[in-house]
Structure 1
Amino acid sequence: MWGKVGCSKADCPISSSNQVVSETVHSANLAAQQQKIMTGGCCDLCVEESKVCEGEHSLEETNKQVVHEESGNAEANSSFAHAVINMIGMLIGLGQLSTPYALENGGWASAFLLVGLGIICAYSAHLLGKCLENNPKSRNYIDIGQHAFGAKGRILAATFIYMEIFMALVSYTISLHDNLNTVFSGTRLKLSWAANLSTSQILTVAAVLVALPSLWLRNLSSISFLSFGGIFMSLVIFISVACTAIFGGVKANHTIPVLQIRNIPVISGLYIFSYAGHIVFPNLYKAMKDPSKFTKVSIVSFAAVTALYTSLAFMGAKLFGPGVNSQITLSMPRHLFVTKIALWATVLTPMTKYALEFAPFAIQLEHHLPTKMSSRTKLIIRASVGSFILVIILTLALCVPYFEYVLSLTGSLVSICICLILPCAFYIKICWPQISKPLIFLNLILIAFGSLLGISGTIFSSKLLIQNLKIRPHST
Structure 2
Amino acid sequence: MFLVALPYGVLHGGYWTLLALVAAAIITCYTGIILVECLYEISPLNDEKIRVRETYVSIAREVWGARFASRIVHTAQFIELIMTCILYLVLCGDMMYNTFPIMSESAWTVVASFFVVPCAFLRDLKAVSRLSFGNAIAHVVINVVVVGFCMTQISSWQWSKTPVLINIHHFPVSLGIVVFSYTSHIFLPSLEGSMRNRGNFRTMLYWTHGLAGLFKFLFAYLCFLTFANATQEVITDNLPTEGFKALVSICLVAKALLSYPLPYFAAAELLERAFFQGRPETVLSSCYAFDGMLHTWAVVLRIFLVLFSLILAVIIPHFALLMGLIGSFTGTMLSFVWPCWFHLKIKWHDLRWYKKALDIAIISSGFMCCGVGIIFSTSSLVEAYQEQP
Task: State the TM-score, normalizing by the size of structure 2.
Answer: 0.88
Quote the residue 2:54 is aligned against.
Answer: 139
Alignment correspondent of 2:260 = 354
* CA offset digits 1:201-250 (Å, max 9, x no partner): 33321221122112201131111222233233222221111121234798
State whether residues 128 and 262 of structure 2, in contact with CA within 8 Å, keep that contact through their aligned partners in structure 1.
yes
> Are 1:221 and 2:126 an aligned pair?
yes
Alignment partner of 2:137 out of 232, 254, 260? 232
Candidates 243, 257, 276, aligned match of 2:163:
257
Give the deviation of 1:137 after TM superposition: 3.7
C-alpha distance in structure 2 between counterparts of 1:347 and 1:261, whole Å: 31
Using the TM superposition, give the Cα deviation of residue 374 of structure 1 relative to its aligned residue in structure 2, in angstroms.
4.4
Matched residue SS, 2:260: helix
Query: How many pairs were matched up?
Result: 368
Closer, same or farther: CA 341–136 of 1 in aligned 2, 3 Å: farther
- 2:250 maps to which residue? 344
3-state SS in 1 of match to 2:294 = helix
**Residues 33-112 of structure 1 aligned to structure 2 (within 5 Å):** 93-94=1-2, 96-112=3-19
1-side partners of 2:62 and 2:129: how far apart?
29
1:210 is aligned to: 115
Deviation by residue 1:312-363 (Cα, 9 ceiling, x = unmatched): 11111111111101111111113453x3342122211221233211223433
Contact 2:289 2:295 (C-alpha < 8 Å) held by counterparts? no
Tell whether the 8 Å contact from 1:175 to 1:403 is kept in structure 2 after alignment: yes
Equivalent of 2:27 in 105, 120, 124: 120
SS in 1 for 2:20: helix
Q: 1:421 to 1:203 in 2, by over 3 A?
A: same
Are the aligned partners of 2:93 and 2:107 in contact in 1 as well (CA < 8 Å)?
Answer: no
Distance 2:64 2:266 in 1: 22
Q: 1:265 to 1:199 in 2, by over 3 A?
A: closer
Does structure 1 conserve the Cα–Cα contact (< 8 Å) formed by 2:85 and 2:264?
A: no
- The root-mean-square deviation of aligned C-alpha atoms, in Å, is 2.1
The answer (yes or no) to whether the contact 1:409–1:457 under 8 Å persists in 2 is yes
Q: Within the alignment, does 1:367 sit opposite 2:287 as a pair?
A: no
Which amino acid in the other structure matches residue 97 of structure 2?
Answer: N
Matched letter for residue 212 of structure 1: V
- Aligned partners of 1:446, 1:332: CA distance in 2, in Å? 38
Q: Is the 8 A contact 2:154 2:226 kept in 1?
A: no
Secondary structure in 2 matching 1:367 = coil
Match for 1:433: what amino acid? H
**Which letter maps to 1:168?**
T
Structure 1 position 412, deviation (Å): 0.2
**Structure 2 Cα separation of the partners of residues 320 and 241 of structure 1:** 12
The whole-number CA distance in structure 2 between the counterparts of 1:200 and 1:107 is 29
Q: Which amino acid aligns with 2:212?
A: V
1:107 and 1:256 in contact (8 A); partners too: yes
Structure 2: gaps (5+ residues): 42-49, 279-283
2: CA distance between counterparts of 1:139 and 1:276?
19
Q: 1:161 aligns with which of 77, 87, 91?
A: 77
Contact 1:104 1:322 in 2 (8 A): yes
- Equivalent of residue 404 in structure 1, options 320, 345, 350: 320
Distance 1:469 1:199 in 2: 16
Alpha carbons 1:129, 1:294 under 8 Å: kept: no
Matches within 5 A, 1:388-399: 388-399=304-315
Q: Quote how far apart the aligned CAs of 1:375 are.
A: 4.7
| Partners of 2:119 and 2:261 within 8 A in 1 | yes
Letter paired with 2:149: T
Preserved CA contact (<8 Å) 1:127 1:423: yes
Aligned match of 2:281 = none
Using the TM superposition, give the Cα deviation of residue 131 of structure 1 relative to its aligned residue in structure 2, in angstroms. Answer: 1.2
Cα distance in 2 between the residues matched to 1:457 and 1:264 = 9
Q: Corresponding residue for 1:149?
A: 64
Instruction: Tell me the SS of whatever aligns to 2:39.
Output: helix
1:379 deviates by 4.0
Counterpart CA distance in 2 for 1:437 and 1:249 is 48
The answer as to 2:367 corresponding to 1:451 is: yes
Residues 307-318 of structure 1 aligned to structure 2 (within 5 Å):
307-318=214-225
SS of residue matched to 1:318: helix
Distance in 2 between the 1:180 and 1:356 partners? 22
User: Aligned partners of 1:432 and 1:312: how far apart in 2?
Assistant: 39
Give yes or no for the alignment of 1:305 onto 2:212: yes
Aligned to 1:18: none
CA distance in 1, matches of 2:340, 2:190: 18
Pick closer, same or farther for the CA change 1:361–1:258 going to 2, 3 Å.
closer
1:421–1:447: 8 Å Cα contact kept in structure 2? yes
Query: Following the alignment from structure 1 to structure 2, what is the Cα–Cα distance between the partners of residues 355 and 382?
Result: 17
